[in-house]
Amino acid sequence: MASWRRVRLVFAPGLTVEFVDRERGLRQVEGLAGRGTRFPVVIYGPEGCGKTAFLRQVFEVLKSLGYSVVYVNPLGREAGERLLTTEDVRSLVGALAEFALGGGAARLVDAALGVASRLFGRSRRIAFIADDVFQAIGVEEAELYVKRLLNLIEYPPGEYERIVVLVASSEGVTRGRISRHNWAKLMMMWNMPRSALEELYEQIPGAKPGFDEVWAWTGGNPRYLSRLYEAGWRVDRVIEEIVAERRVLRALARRWRRELEETVNDPDYLMEEYERVEGLARKLIELNMVVEVVEYRSEDLWIDTPPPERDPELGIGRFYAWATPLHREAVRRILSEYSLSG
């Protein structure tokens, strides 16, 4: 594997960490860089599973391989995180970036694609990385945006040797809409493997629970590891936050109580009874509580390491999985409240 700089990432206020693991995923990107992408590669995965961190490291990998790179993340916390380019691209950005950064997320997404378009005929190797763009432009525009990316590959405005186009999203609703067209290659990314999360856990200072307990609650999700850390490792507080952020869960519990109980026990219940519970499945996906996973664990369909085919302890089924055990526990506690009151 080529040598590249490990990026440092904000893990929590006042704490930065070094990017860890995802070695298999980075090797996959090196393979893509060697031949280019025939279609845009759209990566889906649980919210907080590490897609943004992965793409920030991918930026460094592609840079080391001689690519001119444009990276856009309209939902980045800081202005400097929303639009990144390699040094050779910066002369093309100029006032356009300032205009876009001050004009809202959708304008920034368009501007970044415009910068990438101007690289044709100037650079032989071009990479465009779009992170969380579907949330910024809206579900209705996601399909057309992917088609624009495909047009960039198929009908380029200038000559080029290779192009790599990567898009990542936690927004699962668009997956079905995009998959009905032959415009993109869809791949999934799962939460971090146990060994990788442990590397990240070891970078966290201070007193903390044992790693087995942390793994059992997060299932490898680095964002929820961060949230536990920020909550002083109080699991109840994080679960309460999940419920508070998704107040409609209580309405779902009233409407679909028995079905949710079955889904807590086995998320594949949503597949077994899909015709009857399609509305519930769609709502849980929309709320980023549950993820519809690719049933095959073939490495060609996954970025980095796929999850096990089933893991009841973590809430992973063959067809559906809870985003983390914390999300499953949030629903379990709501159901318990209704049982006590009813």
Assigned token pair, 79: 């202005």
Cβ-in-10-Å burial (0-12, 13-18, 19+) of 264 comes to middle
Query: Residue 75: its pLDDT value, please?
Result: 85
Query: Residue 40: its pLDDT value, please?
Result: 97
| Statement to judge: residues 239 and 142 lie in one domain | no
User: Which of 150, 169, 189 is at the close of a domain?
Assistant: 189
What are the pLDDT digits (tens) for 171-193? 777 888 888 889 999 999 999 99
Q: Which residues of the chain have pLDDT under 50?
A: 1, 99
| Statement to judge: residues 75 and 184 lie in one domain | yes
Query: Residue 101: its pLDDT value, please?
Result: 54
Record the pTM.
0.93
User: Which of 174, 189, 204 is at the close of a domain?
Assistant: 189
Assigned token pair, 149: 């990316």
Number of structural domains (the chain) is: 2
| Statement to judge: residues 95 and 59 lie in one domain | yes
Query: Residue 39: its pLDDT value, please?
Result: 97
Assigned token pair, 71: 């990276």
Listed residue (202, 220, 195, 173) closest to 48, CA to CA: 220
Residue 125: count other Cβ atoms within 10 Å of its Cβ: 18
Query: Residue 138: its pLDDT value, please?
Result: 84
| Statement to judge: residues 90 and 231 lie in one domain | no
Query: Residue 187: its pLDDT value, please?
Result: 95
What are the pLDDT digits (tens) for 189-206? 999 999 999 999 999 999
- Residues spanned by the domain of 262: 194-295+307-341
Query: Residue 97: its pLDDT value, please?
Result: 56
Query: Residue 103: its pLDDT value, please?
Result: 61
